[in-house]
Amino acid sequence: SEIFAAALQDYGRAVIVGDESTFGKGTVQQLRPVISNKLTLPFRRSETQEGALKLTIQTFYRIDGHSTQRHGVVPEVRLPSMLDIAEIGEASLPYALVVDPIEPSRYLPFFDTPIDYEPLQKASEARIASGEAFEYILKDIADEKERIERNTISLNLEGRKEEAARSEADLEKRRKQRIERFAAIREAEKGLFTIYKLTQDNVLDEALTLRDDLSEEELSGMARGDVDDEDPDKKLLEYPHKLGPYERETLRILQDLIAIGKTGKPVNISEATRAPREKTVPIEGRTATQTQPN
């Protein structure tokens, strides 16, 4: 997905939406055996494999001459994510290879004039700040940042018990809020979405299967285990239409993208954050897409 997102971005065929960047692995490794040549009998030799070495043998480059190594793919529209505060990704490794750019390839972007992405970012930030969709995510990010900065934990047993009780109470409160909120969304969105199971095998079929008509095993491709321990409220806690905050915000960004091409401004944006009309360009044919951590 990282390489695919880079190609879409370089050719200007998509607006990349996601967290701070993708993982940032732009190198290729190969395992090679370590052979020990031990003399046994005269004129005979026994070759024994005593392990293996993983060697970096290649680097992946984008058509613009830069590599995804360490940097990953930086989105045009950034969404808040817990991954942004976690030390993961190639750049967080102590001996990650630093790659110099090379000469870019000769290629033609899909559009001659690049689009100004700032209105999309500002409109998205305004929705996230004022809406409920990212409420839990933003709170979790703030709590995790506070925990990292505090960098201490209590060794007092009673204090730890109180902390665990508060955490459990917060989770139960969130659980009840989600059930009520999702029920209201399902009611409001009746008949709004028709979602199909789309794969490379059926993308050209005239008739597609509705995702709601498929079992969990068919959707995931994996058999289910013991269902006796399943949460009785599992269905109630699922995001309506299985569209979570990131998928829903990506759809709204796509709506903004279409609106900019027609009117010069996004669908949902305040006067204070609206970009000048002359900075926008027509963008018919452009699509919006999102990247899953690996």
DSSP the chain: -HHHHHHHHHTT-EEEEESS------EEEEEEEEEEEEE-STT-EEEEEEEEEEEEEEE-B-TTS-B-TTT----SEE---GGGGS--SGGGSTTPPP----PPPP---S-SS----HHHHHHHHHHHHHSSTTHHHHHHHHHHHHHHHH------HHHHHHHHHHHHHHHHHHHHHHHHHHHHHHHHTTTT---B---TTTTT-SS--BGGGS-HHHHHSS-----TTS-TTTTTTSPGGG--HHHHHHHHHHHHHHHHHHHSS-SS--GGGPPPGGG----TT-EEEE----
> What's the pLDDT score for residue 282?
39
**Cross-strand pairs, 145:** none
Q: What is the pLDDT of residues 94-145, one digit of tens each?
A: 889 998 999 999 998 888 777 889 999 999 999 999 888 899 999 999 999 9
pLDDT over threshold 50, residue 261: yes
Mean pLDDT of the chain: 83
Q: How would you label 7-23 residue by residue, b for 16+ Cβ within 10 Å and e otherwise?
A: ebbbebebbbbbbebbb
Q: Tell me how far CA of residue 142 lies from CA of 78, 80, 84, 136, in angstroms.
A: 17, 11, 12, 10
Q: What is the pLDDT of residues 47-64, one digit of tens each?
A: 667 789 999 999 999 999
Q: What is the pLDDT of residues 234-246, one digit of tens each?
A: 888 889 888 999 9
With beta carbons less than 8 A apart as the criterion, state whether 281 and 144 touch. Answer: no
- For residues 249 and 240, give the distance between their C-alpha atoms in angstroms, rounded to a whole number: 14
In the chain, % of residues over pLDDT 90? 51
pLDDT over threshold 90, residue 67: yes
> What's the pLDDT score for residue 276?
38
Beta pairing class for 27-39 and 45-59:
antiparallel
With beta carbons less than 8 A apart as the criterion, state whether 62 and 10 touch. Answer: yes
Q: Give me the torsion for CA of 128, 130, 135, 138, rounded to 10°.
A: 60
> What's the pLDDT score for residue 273?
39
- For residues 18 and 39, give the distance between their C-alpha atoms in angstroms, rounded to a whole number: 58
- For residues 219 and 197, give the distance between their C-alpha atoms in angstroms, rounded to a whole number: 8
- Token pair, residue 191, equals 């008949």
Q: How would you label 216-243 residue by residue, b for 16+ Cβ within 10 Å and e otherwise?
A: eeeeeeeeeeeeeeeeeeeeeeeebbeb
With beta carbons less than 8 A apart as the criterion, state whether 6 and 66 touch. Answer: no
> What's the pLDDT score for residue 111?
80
